[in-house]
Chain A
Amino acid sequence: MTAITKKGTVCWRCHAPHSGGHFCAACGKIQPLARGTDYFAFFGLPQKLWLDCAELEKLFHQLSWKLHPDNFVRAGEYERELSLERSSQLNDAYRALRDPVARVEYLLAHAGMRKEGAAKQQAPPELLEEVFELNESLDELRTARASSTDDSHLASLKQHLEAEERKLETKLREVDEELKRIATEWDAAFDAGADQSQRKALMSRMNDVLNRRSYIRNLVANVQKELAEA
């Protein structure tokens, strides 16, 4: 991004005070993005995790219509550039916010609280046991497929894995419910004006849930892939 100004500066065109919106309140010219503007602020929303998706879609359509480069074909080069930049940011912002899980991912990433691959992130032990057994079943399935002598064995392995897949899907739903519960806590904390440490604690819990979620999702994807080939 090239065109960034500090929040609370003046309009580049008419020099009227400008507080970070998309357009100057005085002259109506498109403005560069204020530094530190997050995707929530982009839509004029607070950093809360519950979002009315219909409302968000409406805001998205309104903004994409206002920021669209077609509106700026006869404007100066700087304005055309800003319109392009803002339009692409709008698409990114919409993609990040419309899905509840992506929204949490974004909130944490923006705050520097999304941590993957760190040494101390261990999967929960009760899950590991299952994962190990699941992988062994997958191995067995691959071997049975390669030899393809015993059809009934292959069929029973497939059945077993299909049952495992359903269990994982249930787990995934549980994880999503958990994420939703913490998101509700986050919104309540936001409204109550929670301090930095409370926010960080909530974000770190959400980060753990997101990691568990991606772990289970990878497993589901693996099982589905093997079953599709079997």
Chain B
Amino acid sequence: MAYSDKVVDHYNNPRNVGSLDKNDPNVGTGLVGAPECGDVMKLQMKVNPQTQVIEEAKFKTFGCGSAIASSSLATEWVKGKTVEEALAIKNTEIVKELSLPPVKIHCSVLAEDAIKAALNDWKKKQASAAEQPAAAAQQ
């Protein structure tokens, strides 16, 4: 199967590969996987608590070229967006941008799930930090 130029580009020059400190209260981590092909995708985002803007995004994906390209593109897109804007990203937009064939649509679904999982993790952290302001202040 031939990959589109954009997939090949992201595959050869993946953006934002790496990791952020998952214990940082402003970092949300999303880990998702597809059982049928063994792909695993980790997406991390650092959110500015005042502005709600995603300042940093990193990923590491083990999987096919489309899975890597989808997550690489996702990190590019979420950077500079607010949490709400990032949550509105749809897998179909990723499919369109990367011209993914039907058999690879699940890769884009995985990327969308990873964004949502990471931001949910971040929200949970924010909520628990708000519940225990004294404990947070002591740290």
Task: Give A contacts to B, CB under 8 Å.
Answer: 116-117, 119, 121-123, 125, 127-129, 131-132, 135, 139, 211-212, 214-215, 218-219, 222
Chain A contacts for B35, CB-based, 8 A: 121-123, 211-212, 214-215
User: A119, B106: Cβ atoms under 8 Å?
Assistant: yes
Cβ contacts B110-125/A at 8 Å (1 or 0 each): 0001000000000000
Query: Of the 9-residue stretches B4-12, B26-34, B47-55, B126-134, which lies at the interface with chain A?
Result: B26-34
Which of chain B's residues have a CB closer than 8 A to the CB of A215? Answer: 33, 35-36, 38
Contact B38 A128, beta carbon cutoff 8 Å? no
List the interface of chain B (C-beta within 8 A of A). 31-38, 40, 42, 60, 62, 106, 109, 113
Report 24 cross-chain contacts, Cβ distance below 8 Å, ordered by A residue.
A117-B34, A117-B36, A117-B106, A119-B106, A119-B109, A122-B32, A123-B34, A127-B33, A128-B31, A129-B31, A131-B33, A131-B38, A131-B40, A132-B60, A135-B40, A135-B62, A139-B62, A211-B35, A211-B36, A212-B35, A214-B36, A218-B37, A219-B38, A222-B38
A121: contacting residue among B34, B40, B60, CB under 8 A = B34
Q: How far is the CA of A135 from the CA of B33 in the complex (A)?
A: 12
Q: Which single residue of chain A is at the shortest CB-CB distance from B42?
A: A132
- Give the complex CA separation of A121 and B32 in angstroms: 11
Q: With A119-B106, A122-B113 as given contacts, are A218 and B31 in contact (CB-CB < 8 Å)?
A: no
Chain B nearest Cβ from A225, distance in angstroms? 12
Taking the closest CB of chain A, its distance from the CB of B32, in whole angstroms, is 7
CA distance A182 to B51 in the complex (A): 50
Measured in the bound complex, the distance between the Cα atoms of B62 and A122 in whole Å is: 16
Could you say which residues of chain A place their CB within 8 Å of the CB of B60? 132
Residues of B within 8 A of A218 (CB): 37-38
- Tell whether A132 pairs with B40 under 8 Å between CB atoms, given A117-B106, A119-B109: yes
| Contacting pair B38 A116 (CB below 8 A) | no
Which residues of the partner chain B approach A127 to less than 8 Å between Cβ atoms?
33
Measured between alpha carbons, how far is A212 from B38 in the docked complex, in Å? 10
Hey, which chain A residues are within 8 Å of B109, CB to CB? Answer: 119
Which of A121, A135, A139, A218 counts the most chain B CB atoms within 10 A?
A: A135
Contacts of A219 in B (CB 8 A): 38
A215, B57: Cα distance in complex, Å:
28
CB distance from A10 to the nearest CB of B (A): 45
Chain B residues near A132 (CB, 8 Å)?
A: 31, 40, 42, 60, 62
Write the nearest CB–CB distance from A224 to chain B, whole angstroms.
13
Cα of A215 to Cα of B62 in the assembled complex, Å: 14
How distant is the Cα of A107 from the Cα of B15 in the complex, in angstroms? Answer: 44
Q: How far is the CA of A132 from the CA of B114 in the complex (A)?
A: 14
- Which residues from B are CB-within-8-Å of A211? 35-36
Residues on A with C-beta less than 8 A from B31 are 125, 128-129, 132
Nearest residue, chain A, Cβ from B112? A119
User: A215 CA to B32 CA in the complex, in Å?
Assistant: 13
Given A128-B40, A215-B38, A218-B38, CB of A122 within 8 Å of CB of B33: yes
* Residue ID in chain B nearest A211 by CB atoms: B35
Residues of chain A lying within 8 A (CB to CB) of residue B42: 132
Nearest chain A CB to B53 CB, angstrom units: 27
Alpha-carbon distance A5/B33, docked complex (angstroms):
45
Contact residues in B for A128 (Cβ distance below 8 Å): 31-33, 40
